[in-house]
């Protein structure tokens, strides 16, 4: 800037620039969270990535994820000391297989891991922490880990993501396949975080009705899962609307783009007026007034739903489908689910989805272990790799893996 050339205006420009940068980076961070400045920087980085990538997608139509994916494979497929990693396909769906190298007599345990990322390609470059988590799990449990590389929005919409995961899980649960990998059919877990927790919960439910699948899951681990699309004004959405990593606006975008790139659904979801009156009977499955403990209701007042046009529900029936929103099933469909571990974070728009599922599962007698982390934000398990690692991420990852080790 020619304007910024003499000394006086130079310092003014510098001041202005710092204010701009600071206001971009600054996000209010909840009181009880440690490493606040680091989290603030990470959050600014995330926002930048999502802006840049969405610009590419929507303005230039660049398929940037191919480039990122290749780079990612190159950098991270290097084998971890004790685990052999191979990319394979189960019934034509790509999956990454982590096999412990340690020789052991007897059969191994297995964890089928479904990664998060909003069902979208934006954060594909954030796959490194998922890869590391799978390696840690394989190493610590001496277990086979299968990570499903399902197809993503905005190129693919529901039910493609669900079906890809279902295909891999169903393929893996065949006795002949388990024998091939030396897996104990009585010690298999399905696990996933965020959008992956959504897919894990949905697949675990749908497997119950599949007569072709004889092997039963021993446990499911749902890590800050997204479980319902009906009410996007739950207390957790209100309390955490602008919290780091996953503001409400981004979650609304994830949900709507899971079904369509048509922005009319996104707009309707943003104002929580997307559910048609014909589907009013579904609201009892997500009635937070009954399903949340007092502690989480705080001073929020339950209001009856406001219905939207029936057009959206007809055009995009996916958002009313339990394969996308596992909280929308009848109680009888919950019977027979395996022992369930649910991890929820206090400062997370998805907090109440997880808590309501805990209530519903317990009401029908499913054994649930609920870990609620008071000082955590959404996505903590992604913050385990330098330079974006947080002590919190390591603490929560260790807790989860330790739980698996004891219970699987």
Nearer residue to ligand NAG within complex by CB, 82 or 174: 82
Alpha-carbon distances of 76 from 88, 193, 258, 367, rounded to whole Å:
16, 20, 27, 37
Query: What does the alpha-carbon distance between residue 13 and residue 194 come to, in Å, rounded to a whole number?
Result: 42
| Closer residue to ligand NAG (CB): 224 or 285 | 285
Task: Measure the CA–CA gap between 208 and 326, rounded to whole angstroms.
Answer: 13
Q: Is 372 a catalytic residue?
A: no
CB of 101 to ligand NAG, least distance (A): 8
How far is it, in rounded angstroms, from Cα 46 to Cα 25? 11
CB of 367 to ligand NAG, least distance (A): 26
Of 194, 236, 256, 279, the active-site residue reads 194
| Site residues (vs ligand NAG, CB under 6 A) | 81-82, 139, 283-284, 287, 289-290, 302
With respect to ligand NAG, which residue has the nearer C-beta, 51 or 102? 102
Q: In sequence order, what are the residues at sequence separation of 6 or more whose Cβ sits closer than 8 angstroms to the Cβ of residue 400?
A: 221, 223, 341, 343, 371, 381
Q: Which is nearer to ligand NAG, 55 or 277 (CB)?
A: 277
Q: 117: Cβ–Cβ under 8 A, 6 or more apart, which residues?
A: 123, 124, 126, 127, 152, 194, 195, 196
Least Cβ distance, residue 142 to ligand NAG (angstroms)? 8
Asked if 231 is an active-site residue, the reply is no
- In angstroms, give the least distance from the CB of 391 to ligand NAG: 20
Instruction: Give the long-range contacts of residues 40-46, CB within 8 A, separation 24 or more.
Output: 40/244, 42/244, 42/245, 42/383, 42/388, 42/390, 43/244, 43/245, 45/388, 46/123, 46/245
Supply the minimum distance, in Å, between the C-beta of residue 145 and ligand NAG: 14
Output the CA angle 73-77-81, nearest 5 degrees. 165
- Of the two residues 264 and 287, which places its CB atom closer to ligand NAG in the complex? 287
- Min dist. Cβ of residue 288 to ligand NAG (A): 8
Judge whether 274 counts as a catalytic residue: no
Q: Which is nearer to ligand NAG, 81 or 299 (CB)?
A: 81
Query: Which sequence positions are flagged as catalytic?
Result: 194, 348, 378
């Amino acid at each position: 800037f020619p304007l910024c050339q003499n000394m006086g205006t130079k310092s003014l420009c510098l001041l202005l620039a710092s204010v701009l940068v600071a206001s971009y980076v600054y996000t209010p961070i909840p009181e009880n969270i440690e490493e606040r400045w680091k989290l603030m920087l990470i959050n600014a980085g995330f926002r930048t990535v999502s802006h840049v990538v969405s610009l590419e997608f929507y303005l230039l139509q660049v398929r940037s994820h191919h480039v990122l994916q290749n780079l990612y494979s190159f950098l991270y497929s290097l084998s971890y000391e004790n685990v052999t990693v191979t990319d394979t396909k189960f019934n034509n769906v790509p999956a990454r297989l982590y096999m412990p190298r340690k020789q052991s007599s007897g059969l191994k345990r297995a964890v089928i891991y479904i990664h998060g990322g909003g069902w979208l390609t934006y954060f594909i470059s954030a796959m490194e922490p998922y890869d590391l988590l799978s390696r840690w799990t394989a190493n610590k449990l001496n277990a086979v880990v299968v990570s499903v590389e399902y197809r993503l929005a905005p190129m693919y919409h529901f039910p493609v993501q669900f079906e890809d995961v279902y295909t891999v899980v169903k393929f893996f649960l065949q006795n002949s396949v388990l024998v091939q990998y030396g897996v104990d059919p009585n010690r298999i877990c399905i696990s996933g975080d965020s959008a992956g927790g959504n897919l894990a919960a949905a697949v675990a439910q749908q497997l119950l009705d599949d007569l072709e699948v004889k092997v039963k899951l021993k446990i499911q681990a749902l890590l800050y899962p997204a479980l319902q699309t009906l009410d996007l004004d739950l207390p957790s959405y209100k309390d955490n609307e602008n919290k780091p990593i996953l503001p409400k606006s981004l979650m609304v975008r994830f949900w709507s783009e899971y079904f369509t790139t048509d922005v009319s659904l996104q707009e309707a979801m943003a104002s929580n007026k997307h559910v048609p009156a014909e589907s009013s009977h579904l609201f009892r499955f997500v009635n937070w007034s009954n399903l949340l403990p007092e502690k989480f209701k705080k001073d929020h007042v339950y209001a009856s739903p406001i219905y939207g046009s029936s057009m959206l529900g007809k055009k995009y029936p996916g958002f009313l489908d339990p394969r996308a929103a596992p909280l929308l099933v009848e109680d009888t469909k919950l019977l027979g689910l395996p022992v369930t571990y649910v991890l929820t974070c206090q400062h997370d728009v998805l907090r109440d989805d997880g808590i309501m599922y805990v209530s519903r599962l317990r009401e029908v007698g499913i054994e649930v272990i609920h870990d609620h982390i008071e000082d955590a934000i959404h996505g903590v398990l992604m913050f385990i790799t330098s330079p974006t690692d947080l002590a919190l991420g390591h603490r929560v990852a260790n807790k989860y893996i330790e739980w698996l080790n004891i219970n699987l």
